[in-house]
Structure 1
């Protein structure tokens, strides 16, 4: 992503974090940052439709480790899917190796957002008390599930908004073709891929995590390197 785009997003988020901002103003600045990220994805897709060499299909592996490795993997999947990337989870040691597939610009967006959201989730969890009598790990897993669910919904809405701003069916066709090409690449590498069973969680933290997901910045402020195995304590 260009430095100019990053600068715009970071300025918006700096305004959102200003103590002088009202909650409504802060939410508006944060929503605008997510909108810019989504517009960037559409712009790169249209450019690549004219010149495919500018944005090839690729892949990368992201390691997520304990604690809460499965929950971190769920957050990565929640970010990747709305941004038109596919995620294959493989067990590795006490964690997982997440094999991501997507166009280069979309993989870049996923990496930017996932790294930032891991940090935000860690901050949110550290500030949320576990209810008396509830197992801390169960509560935190359900909290992370709620956080991931709402983040995914917000990203999907931002992507849909960016597409709707463009006239004509060509944008939707370009994006559908990109999704198909990514899916074909996944099938080439994993011809016998299976869908993981639905996970059932016992904790009561889903609502608190969902509320934190609604407040999360989706523009990438506070990005750190190598956060796949950091940020969330046991």
Structure 2
């Protein structure tokens, strides 16, 4: 509900606050799920889901999804030829990735369209390079912010006491290993792709600013490919 409101509002500050609160709630829910599974010795294992990464500007979208996945302790592997990424992680984290990625993509696309209209009004016509650079910058900056937010959520939960810290950190470490092993079994051979196309200075500036307004949490490296 918070993400839906963030997508609908015309006020950047309100969208930022709503998206930040949604990410906070999803992060705390995920941590609670992990601790509960550990305490009850539940057989909770990583799963996987496919998320569409459609043209155009699919590289930027794949990087954005990779960032959201990493912030939620998941792994994303992009299959460029078939137009989707496979995200590997625990169920609660996979749900958070799908919700957050969809919302951030909607917010980013809306911000790009608005910024592009301003560029056209000023007489510029390089809309393709502007859009591509905008989304690359957006994905890059969102990645950094998501990483910070994820680290903050873990630190806050661990700060509740020694017992909380001593139980939480080993659980998260074990889950990270489990996700990594599952991803490697599914995709024993992956590579990275070089990111090209960030050639428009105005697009980069506007894309970074849009990510700051959207606010939120990782890894702006090139996405993994099977």
Identify which of 131, 136, 145 aligns with 2:136. 145
Aligned positions of 1:39-188 closer than 5 A: 39-51=28-40, 53=42, 55-92=44-81, 96-129=83-116, 130=119, 132-133=123-124, 135-165=126-156, 166=158, 167=161, 168-188=165-185
> How many residues of Structure 1 are paired with residues of Structure 2 in the alignment?
205
Aligned to 2:148, the other structure's residue is in SS state: helix
The two structures have a TM-score, normalised by structure 1, of 0.75
Aligned partners of 1:181 and 1:148: how far apart in 2? Answer: 27
How far residue 50 of structure 1 moved from its aligned partner, in angstroms, is 2.3
Give RMSD over aligned pairs: 2.9
| Higher mean displacement: 112-121 or 60-69 | 60-69
Aligned partners of 2:186 and 2:139: how far apart in 1? Answer: 27
Say which structure is richer in helix.
Answer: 2
Aligned partners of 1:31 and 1:77: how far apart in 2? Answer: 18
Aligned partners of 1:125 and 1:147: how far apart in 2? Answer: 9
Q: 1:208 to 1:52 in 2, by over 3 A?
A: farther
Aligned to 2:73, the other structure's residue is in SS state: coil
Aligned partners of 2:89 and 2:18: how far apart in 1? Answer: 28
The two structures have a TM-score, normalised by structure 2, of 0.78
Q: 1:27 to 1:191 in 2, by over 3 A?
A: closer
Deviations 1:75-120 (A, max 9, x none): 1111111111101111235xx2201101111000000101111111
Aligned partners of 1:190 and 1:141: how far apart in 2? Answer: 28
Structure 2 residue 189 is the aligned partner of structure 1 residue 202: no
Deviations 1:11-52 (A, max 9, x none): 9x57x9597xx95x8755553333222212211111122245
How far residue 196 of structure 1 moved from its aligned partner, in angstroms, is 2.6
| Higher mean displacement: 165-174 or 36-45 | 165-174
Gaps of 5+ in 2: 218-226
Aligned partners of 2:195 and 2:166: how far apart in 1? Answer: 35
> Is this contact kept in 1: 2:49–2:87, CA < 8 A?
yes
Aligned partners of 1:54 and 1:154: how far apart in 2? Answer: 32
